[in-house]
């Protein structure tokens, strides 16, 4: 409702005025939170985010958002189902399993680094490490595990690391995203990610939200954009465009390039915070990675 009102105002031409009002509203929001309850603030965001999509796509069930654009586009969904029937990423999952089980030089394995031997835990990533003061994604944790055991880190966008991540996701299929924002430091990281999501970037001046929230489901150039809700659930993905498996941060870099913004480093702080925000927004949705995308 507020959105519609705002649009009207812009149409009328009172851009400046409406922005002023919004700024005032935003700062009023911030000022009124003298004793912040982070969990409640995050929950409010989550609810508003979900409601937005519920209104936009009233026929799409919440659980469906784990399927990306295929949740809202029936024509491409059919092709996607054909791919998922015998998906090319099955090779990568096997490879990932082999790598996962292969002991390091010191005799230990990945299983020693993770809770529950690394099985069925994808939904708990990323999490905020209060001691380190940073967001830990699954891919970062895999490399931290390697380094703790005297091995070289793997490249973050594709290849062996993507395969291991795919295998770990495959053992977690159906588990629901359970990423939380426990304290103030975590909330800072979450807000950084949120800020990235809503900030316009690149020569084309688009934010993540422009394509995947405001015009989600509409044709942008040749493609229908996927809804932001549930975006991280299916990663890593095998993209037809890549003809191989790639991680979420590889996709972020591709998105940024599309809007002519210089991509930021995979697993750098900015993308990790973005993944954190997106995963929090997707809480309650099932893990179904790896999956195939166009």
Partner 1 sequence: MKIKAKVKKDITKVKMLIKHDMETGRRKDQDGNIIPGLYITEVSASHNDQPVFYAEVGQAVSKDPYMAFSFKGGASGDKISITWKDSSGATETGEAAIK
Partner 2 sequence: MNKVKWLLYIVLSMTLISSGRLYADIVVKPILEEARATLSKATARDFEWTTTRKLIKEAEAALASGDEDKSLKLAKAALNEAEKSLVQANYAEAHWQDDIPR
Partner 3 sequence: MLVGDDMNLSEKNMKIDRRGFLSNLLKGAACIVTVASLPRLALAAWNEKAFKAETLEGAMSSKYPGLEFVDSSAIKLKAPAIAENGAVVPVGVKTDLPDVKTISLFVEKNPSPLAATFHLTPINVADVSIRIRMGETSNLIAVVESGGKLHRVQQEVKVTIGGCGG
Residues annotated as part of the active site: 255
Residues 83-102 that bind partner 1 (CB under 8 A): 85-86, 88, 90-91
CA distance 234 to 170: 10
Indicate whether 203 belongs to the interface with partner 2 (CB under 8 A).
yes
State which residue, 62 or 91, has the beta carbon closest to partner 3. 91
Rounded to a whole number of angstroms, the minimum distance from the CB of residue 85 to partner 1 is: 7
Select from 111, 255, 264, 270 the one that contacts partner 3 (CB under 8 A).
255
Indicate whether 210 belongs to the interface with partner 2 (CB under 8 A).
yes
State which residue, 160 or 202, has the beta carbon closest to partner 2. 202
Distance from CA of residue 219 to its chain's centroid?
Answer: 21
Q: Evaluate whether 174 touches 289 at the Cβ level (below 8 Å).
A: no
User: What is the 8-class DSSP label of residue 212?
Assistant: I
Indicate whether 209 belongs to the interface with partner 2 (CB under 8 A).
yes
Residues 265-294 that bind partner 2 (CB under 8 A): 270
Task: List residues bridging with 228 in a β-sheet.
Answer: none
Q: Is the dihedral of CA 210, 215, 216, 221 positive or negative?
A: negative
How many chain residues bind partner 2 (CB under 8 A)?
31
State which residue, 201 or 250, has the beta carbon closest to partner 2. 201
Q: Evaluate whether 182 touches 252 at the Cβ level (below 8 Å).
A: no
Q: Evaluate whether 68 touches 234 at the Cβ level (below 8 Å).
A: yes
| Interface characters, 55-94, with partner 3 (x: CB under 8 A) | -------------xx-----xx-xxx-xx----x--x---
CA distance 149 to 147: 5
State which residue, 65 or 167, has the beta carbon closest to partner 2. 65
Token pair listed for 173: 């299929």
Q: What is the gyration radius of the CA atoms in the chain, in angstroms?
A: 20
Indicate whether 243 belongs to the interface with partner 1 (CB under 8 A).
yes
Residues at the site binding partner 1, with contacts judged by CB under 8 A: 85-86, 88, 90-91, 243
């Amino acid at each position: 409702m507020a959105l519609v009102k705002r649009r009207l105002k812009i149409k009328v031409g009172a851009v400046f005025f409406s922005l002023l009002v919004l700024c005032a509203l935003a700062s009023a929001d911030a000022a009124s939170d003298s004793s912040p309850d982070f969990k409640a603030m995050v929950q409010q965001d989550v609810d508003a985010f979900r409601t937005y999509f519920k209104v936009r796509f009233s026929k799409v069930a919440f659980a469906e958002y784990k399927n990306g654009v295929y949740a809202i586009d029936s024509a491409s969904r059919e092709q996607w189902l054909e791919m998922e029937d015998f998906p090319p990423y099955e090779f990568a999952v096997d490879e990932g399993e082999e790598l996962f089980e292969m002991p390091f030089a010191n005799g230990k394995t990945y299983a020693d680094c993770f809770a529950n031997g690394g099985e069925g835990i994808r939904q708990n990533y990323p999490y905020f490490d209060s001691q380190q003061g940073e967001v830990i994604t699954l891919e970062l944790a895999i490399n931290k595990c390697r380094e703790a055991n005297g091995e070289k880190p793997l490249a973050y966008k594709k290849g062996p690391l993507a395969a291991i991540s795919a295998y770990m996701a495959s053992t977690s299929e159906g588990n629901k995203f359970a990423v939380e924002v426990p304290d103030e430091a975590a909330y800072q990281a979450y807000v950084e990610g949120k800020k990235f999501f809503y900030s316009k970037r690149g020569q084309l001046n688009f934010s993540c939200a422009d394509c995947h929230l405001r015009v989600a489901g509409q044709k942008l150039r040749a493609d229908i954009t996927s809804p932001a809700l549930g975006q991280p659930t299916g990663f890593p993905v095998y993209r037809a465009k890549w003809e191989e498996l790639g991680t979420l941060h590889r996709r972020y870099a591709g998105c940024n390039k599309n809007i002519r913004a210089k991509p930021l480093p995979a697993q750098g702080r900015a993308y990790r915070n973005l993944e954190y925000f997106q995963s929090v927004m997707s809480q309650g949705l099932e893990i179904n990675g790896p999956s195939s995308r166009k």
